[in-house]
Amino acid sequence: MSLPQQDLNLEDAKEQLLEECEAIWKNVEECQNKFTFQDIETLPATDPKLSLLLHRVKSLTAEFNQWQKRTPEVITANPDVLVALGKDQLQRLEHDLEMVLSTVQAKNKKLKEDLQREQRWLAEQQQLIDCLDQTDKEMSNQVVQFSEKRAFQELKSKMLKIKAYKEEILNALGDFLEKHFPLPEDDGIKKRKTRSSRDPDVQLITLHEILEILINKLINKPHDPYVAINNSFWSPYIELLLRYGIALRHSEDPNRIRLENFHQ
């Protein structure tokens, strides 16, 4: 955007405009001096404040009427000066607008670059989220399957260990009982048969067997863990179990015993 060549030098136009402004200012100063040296009106002594306000109202009204009658005047009537000043103002305005346009374009470019960068980042984050969701689904399925299989294997391993430990304890208990609590002997021969005249063919059972019967009864029928004492139970073994609190008699039937609840 460019303007045509100026008909009047800009510096001359400014100088002429300043001269006219100085002349107008001198005229204003003369009017101000005349107004200052005018005779001051003497206010009546009755109510000086009211008289002062009335005088001020009259002055303002007269000044208002003068301004209403006055039409705006252009400082200079020289068209060449006005054209030169107008072209200068347009050139300045054009320069300011070009700077504003350049700034706005730069900001728009930066905002566009930021928007593209944010869009790329958003797309990458969305891809990452999709990938993580897919991985989470796969891992969840694997974890469920792995957890069930692993839990079953661990439970199976624990059961085998418990069974092995049970067998070890039972074997150790059997060896201990066989060594320290054997069946009664008669001339070096273990007596398996009782001397009851009513049932001479009944054989005595070992303390180990008595304990196995009591344990199986307690485990298989915890609601009725009592075992009836018969002729195959050697009475010293029964007294031994009762004396050391390993077994308990039934409160109503002394011929029935049960194993103490050591697991509770």
Q: What is the pLDDT of residue 229?
A: 93
Contact of 15 with 22, CB cutoff 8 Å: no
Domains of the chain, residue spans:
184-259
Distance CA 250, CA 51 (A): 131
Strand 227-228 with 189-190, pairing: unpaired
List Cβ neighbours of 41 (8 Å cut-off, separation of 6 or more).
55
Tokens 């200012």, residue located: 25
**What pLDDT, on the 0 to 100 scale, is given for residue 200?**
55
CB crowding 15-25: b at 16 or more within 10 Å, else e = ebbeeeeeeee
Tens of pLDDT, residues 71-85: 666 566 677 777 887
pLDDT in tens, 194-231: 444 445 566 888 888 998 899 889 888 889 999 999 98
SS (H, E, C) 13-43: HHHHHHHHHHHHHHHHHHHHHHHHCCCCCCC
**Would you state the pLDDT for residue 126?**
93
The chain-wide mean pLDDT, for the chain, equals 80
